[in-house]
């Protein structure tokens, strides 16, 4: 039994750590924004355009990779896309021109886009459809987000933007981990069969999937908006320097580590949709606190906002996959890619409003979006999973009592 359990959990653990190495580069783009503003004198709108370049291209390309993985298994994408994602961020600080920087982060976005659908499919397969396994996989990505501002701050504060090639190191480690995970995932031969079965069983509920995607978009706009500007905003509100801003971004991302684990446990007890709805309601109050509460208490509001945004993260993924059991790759590509990237489109708008007014005014509309997400989630019902739609084998018939026994 311990050997079987190791065969199941080791690939998931490796995928989780590899996911962290990839999502470092999603968090790194936002973490670089204050340095672009201070070192290159970019406006808020110009800096948010860099965030948009990474997120928008990733969002458009990711569903395409998801559709491809629905037809063909493409495990080689994991190490290759990890290296591409790291290379783009590593080059972002090298070129002095704005155009070069935008292209570099766009290349990173393509790498991140190529990684997620196939990695989510493999995590679902290696974890035998377990929500807990998907939670651990998501936790790795969230930890990568949390580590990004610390890593970027340590490198760029020391050597300036031209030290950005050092940021390629996590990509090298991630590629090695992905290769090891792929070897481990091949060990249980039944895994591939179960994954193929899950893609052909059940029916696709596109209406519920699109409604869920709308809720994910609302969450994404809030998360991307806070991620792009919370560092600068906290520095303004608290009067602190770069350390104060980096700490706030770290708190925002670190909440994912707690939120994902707590979300999985709460969903097991109360159900995925109720937990997702409660999280949206909490996020409304937390974002209002971020915008309106002054001083050190602002950090507590950032932490609450982080929890509200991250608790339903892995639940959104499994819900999407269960709404589209025949299109698991597409579900992952849209949920992890397109919906998230559309949220990035709002980033330049927030930056433009901030340039014209103030960051506080620009961030205020983010309070309403979790409420809209809550309304959308209220219309959804729990999807029929493979386990629910597969008839159970009949119980064995009890043996007839013998004549001697009845006598």
Query: Taking residues 125-151, what's their average pLDDT?
Result: 77
Q: Has residue 16 got a pLDDT over 70?
A: yes
Phi then psi for 306, rounded to 5 degrees? -60, -45
* Reported confidence tier of residue 249, pLDDT bands at 50, 70, 90: confident
Q: Has residue 126 got a pLDDT over 90?
A: no
**Measured distance CA(237)–CA(242) in Å, rounded:** 13
Render 288-309 in DSSP notation, one character per residue.
Answer: HHHHH--TTHHHHHHHHHHHHH
Quick one: residue 129, left, alpha or beta (phi over 0 = left, psi -120 to 50 = alpha)? left
Q: Has residue 79 got a pLDDT over 80?
A: yes
Comparing 81-90, 138-147, 201-210, the range with the smallest average pLDDT is: 138-147
pLDDT: is 57 or 80 the higher one? Answer: 80
Query: What does the pLDDT look like over 371-380, one tens digit per residue?
Result: 999 999 999 9
Q: Has residue 193 got a pLDDT over 50?
A: no
Rg (CA), the chain: 22
Query: Taking residues 51-69, what's their average pLDDT?
Result: 77
Query: How far does Cα 123 stand from its chain's mean position?
Result: 14
pLDDT of res. 53 = 78
* Reported confidence tier of residue 276, pLDDT bands at 50, 70, 90: very high
Query: Taking residues 320-346, what's their average pLDDT?
Result: 77
Domain 2-185+193-386 - what CATH class? mainly alpha
Q: Has residue 405 got a pLDDT over 70?
A: no
Q: Has residue 263 got a pLDDT over 60?
A: yes
**Measured distance CA(301)–CA(294) in Å, rounded:** 10
Query: What does the pLDDT look like over 310-327, one tens digit per residue?
Result: 888 888 888 988 898 888
Segment of 63-72, 135-144, 221-230 carrying the highest mean pLDDT: 221-230
pLDDT of res. 131 = 63
- Which tokens sit at 210? 């699109």
* Annotated domain spans of the chain: 2-185+193-386
Q: Using an 8 Å Cβ cutoff, are 145 and 75 in contact?
A: no
Would the pTM of this model clear 0.75, i.e. be above it? Answer: no
- Which tokens sit at 146? 């949390």
**Measured distance CA(290)–CA(251) in Å, rounded:** 12
Q: Has residue 284 got a pLDDT over 90?
A: yes
Q: What is the mean pLDDT of the chain?
A: 80
**Measured distance CA(196)–CA(177) in Å, rounded:** 24
Cα separation of the two ends of the chain? 45
Q: Has residue 300 got a pLDDT over 60?
A: yes
Q: Has residue 184 got a pLDDT over 80?
A: no
Burial class (CB in 10 A: 0-12, 13-18, 19+), 238: middle
């Amino acid at each position: 039994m311990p050997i079987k359990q190791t065969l199941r959990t080791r690939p998931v653990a490796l995928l989780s750590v590899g996911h962290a190495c990839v999502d470092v580069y999603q968090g790194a783009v936002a973490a670089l924004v204050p340095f672009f503003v201070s070192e290159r004198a970019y406006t808020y709108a110009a800096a948010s355009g860099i965030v948009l370049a990474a997120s928008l291209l990733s969002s458009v390309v990711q569903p395409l990779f998801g559709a491809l993985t629905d037809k063909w298994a493409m495990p080689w994408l994991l190490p290759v896309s990890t290296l591409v994602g790291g290379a783009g961020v590593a080059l972002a600080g090298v070129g002095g021109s704005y155009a070069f920087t935008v292209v570099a982060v766009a290349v990173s976005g393509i790498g991140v886009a190529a990684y997620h659908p196939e990695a989510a499919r493999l995590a679902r397969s290696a974890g035998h459809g377990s929500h807990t396994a998907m939670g651990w996989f998501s936790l790795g990505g969230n930890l990568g987000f949390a580590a990004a501002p610390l890593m970027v701050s340590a490198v760029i504060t020391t050597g300036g933007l031209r030290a950005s090639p050092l940021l390629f190191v996590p990509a090298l480690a991630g590629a090695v981990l992905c290769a090891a995970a792929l070897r481990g995932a091949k060990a249980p031969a039944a895994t591939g069969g179960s994954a193929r079965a899950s893609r052909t069983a059940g029916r696709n509920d596109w209406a519920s999937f699109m409604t869920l995607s709308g809720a994910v978009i609302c969450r994404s706009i809030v998360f991307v908006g806070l991620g792009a500007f919370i560092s600068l905003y906290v520095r303004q509100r608290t009067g602190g320097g770069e350390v104060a801003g980096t700490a706030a971004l770290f708190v925002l991302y670190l909440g994912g580590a707690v939120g994902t684990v707590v979300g999985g446990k709460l969903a097991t007890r109360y159900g995925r949709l109720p937990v997702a709805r409660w999280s949206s309601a909490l996020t409304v109050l937390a974002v209002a606190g971020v915008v309106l509460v002054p001083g050190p208490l602002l950090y507590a509001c950032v932490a609450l906002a982080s929890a509200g945004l991250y608790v339903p993260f892995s639940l959104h993924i499994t819900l999407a996959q269960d709404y589209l059991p025949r299109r698991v790759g597409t579900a992952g590509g849209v949920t992890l890619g397109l919906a998230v990237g559309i949220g990035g489109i709002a980033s330049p708008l927030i930056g433009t409003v901030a340039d014209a007014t103030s960051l506080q005014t620009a961030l205020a509309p983010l309070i309403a979006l979790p409420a809209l997400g809550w309304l959308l989630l209220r219309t959804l019902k729990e999807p029929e999973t493979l386990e629910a739609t597969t008839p159970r084998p009949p119980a064995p018939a009890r043996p007839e009592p013998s004549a001697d026994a009845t006598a």
